[in-house]
Amino acid sequence: MKIGIINYSIGNVGSVLSAFQYYNYDVSLIQNADDVDQVDVIVLAGVGNFSTAIGKLKETKFWQKLNHLILVVKKPLIGICLGMQIFANLGYEDGINEGFGWIKGKTVKMKSSRVLIPHIGWNKVKFSDRNLSKNMIYQSFYYMHSYHFMPEDKRVIIATTKYGDLDIVAAVRKNNILGTQFHPEKSQGDGLRFLKNAIELLTT
């Protein structure tokens, strides 16, 4: 099984690569959109701006390729942080921008009178799918974000986290795609276990 991490110049994909290498997966960075055809599982990571990410994906020809592979070929994909946020129809960062629309919903700025935004640090995650949390010890993961994804269909939500007075969607799944708001690659042992569980869930 080959895992390909999309390298579209948004965030540090090196740490994501290292996380998958821990389990000796056949994993590589994908620089060219045509090379995505050769992998079995796609990873779409990223830290930063919704509109910038969309622009980079279109500029590097990944946009059309990913839409075809996810919607038509049904290739498994894991989205991490910004990579999950752009699953949405719309993102409200630097104006209103269209996302992939793979899961209906919107990515909006978090608002709270009780806690600081951006949300940076560790939080406990509650999983509704036990296949994702198996073999975990603490179920606590690292976050770093100001925006969050709000899907229309709550049935796609497979994990949540509480941050002060905010209920944050921690993970979603719809058919062949799975996304996380937290950073498993920065979440030590349980983060590595999550990635392994996610791969197994999407490929078996």
Give the residue numbers annotated as catalytic, written as ranges. 81, 183, 185
Distances 86 to 35, 45, 57, 64, 79 between C-alpha atoms, Å = 21, 10, 11, 14, 9
Could you tell me how many residues make up the chain? 204
- Evaluate whether 76 touches 40 at the Cβ level (below 8 Å): yes
Nearest Cα to Cα of residue 153 among 92, 106, 99, 98: 106
- Evaluate whether 151 touches 169 at the Cβ level (below 8 Å): yes
